[in-house]
Amino acid sequence: MKGVIYLEDGTVFYGTGFGKEGSEIGEIVFNTSMTGYQEILTDPSYAGQIVNMTYPLIGNYGVNDFVNQSKCVYAKGFVVKNIDKNPSNYTSKIDIDKMLKNMGVVGVFGVDTRSITKKIRSYGTMKCIIANGNFEVEELKNMMEASLIVDDYVKTVSTKEIVHIAGSGHKVAIMDFGMKNDIIENLKARNCDITIFPYDTDYKKVLNINPDGIFLSNGPGDPKSIPEAIENVKNLIGKRPMFGICLGHQIIALAVGGNTYKLKYGHRGGNHGIYDIERDKAYITAQNHGYAVEEESVLKKDMLITHKNLNDDTVEGMKHKKLPLFSVQFHPEGAPGPTDTTYLFDKFIKLMDEEANVSVKSEKHLENVF
């Protein structure tokens, strides 16, 4: 079946279609990961996007049933140089073509993904149509001109109801903006008692469970598209220790009165270098975002920069000068990518421990007074 990639500027790439037949419109982005295509496809942060993989061979180890980061694929399409329909790995259940068919995702292979990546790097991310079937260029052009992309992705990917996962440790309230499963696994590994809330849950309902800490998850799109979440986070800051990742990091910046901005082509892949200022150490991290925190805007709001990007010097982490509040732009849980920065989950646990000790000391002091 014919595969076509039609970019907003009129550029056309021809290849072979796979996955679902049909067409989809989204924002085309590129990912530099060499492995982890299954985790990338099931990451809710890719909602509304057409993912162009820079690594030339995709599907060689197949698809299994245990690394998915969500229940479905939220990406609009998948573009690769070559696919392997005969995977070789003992965990493989199906091939990448069947996965995309099952998930209803349009794919195109056999195109010059390097050329697509260079165009995105030169001109920035842009609207794109990916088509698998008998579509003419003029037809795709008309579809592009008639299309309107609305950034309501967080509303789509967030949990629709409150979910509780029992644990024997700290009680953690998660604001779900499009969370990956491996974040939950990292908190479970630290025995946390987890309650997951929809993205727009009123802050009073979150505090009603009396959590020891509040976690803000990753998610898709522009953080400014969910002002209700920003307002709720504003009311939660300082009430409990708070840790934000990716979109959660950007929401914290907006909640304290800072600003965010759209990057030219974003950071997506499992090989992004960052510098941890406090540890004086560099790490390779997994990233997936199209927006960043404006440094000067948060410095004016009692925030300290803790991590910087080694490629473009953008803000990769911050903490409050006085309050138990910190966040990072990258993904310490990897999935796919390095897990060298999972120490940040331990930092969150330590912060909750310290706050719990302060509360105990305060109670004992009141007992002595009265």
Which residues define the annotated binding site? 45, 219, 221, 247, 250, 288, 290-291
Catalytic residue among 27, 295, 316, 333: 333
Closest to 96 in 3D by CA, of 55, 52, 61: 61
Torsion of CA 239, 295, 127, 13, to 10 degrees: -120
Catalytic residue among 249, 272, 289, 331: 331
The reply to whether 246 belongs to the active site is yes
The reply to whether 331 belongs to the active site is yes
- Cβ–Cβ under 8 Å, residues 163 and 187: no
The kind and range of the H/E element at 198 are: strand 193-198
Say how many C-beta atoms besides its own lie within 10 A of residue 95's C-beta. 19
Q: Which residues are annotated as a binding site for L-glutamine?
A: 45, 219, 221, 247, 250, 288, 290-291
Calpha distance 227→267 (Å, rounded): 24
Catalytic residue among 128, 246, 249, 316: 246
Length of the chain: 370
Q: What 3-state class would DSSP assign to 313?
A: coil
List of residues 6+ apart from 365 with CB closer than 8 A: none
Say how many C-beta atoms besides its own lie within 10 A of residue 85's C-beta. 11
Calpha distance 228→233 (Å, rounded): 9
Query: Among all residues, which ones are annotated catalytic?
Result: 246, 331, 333
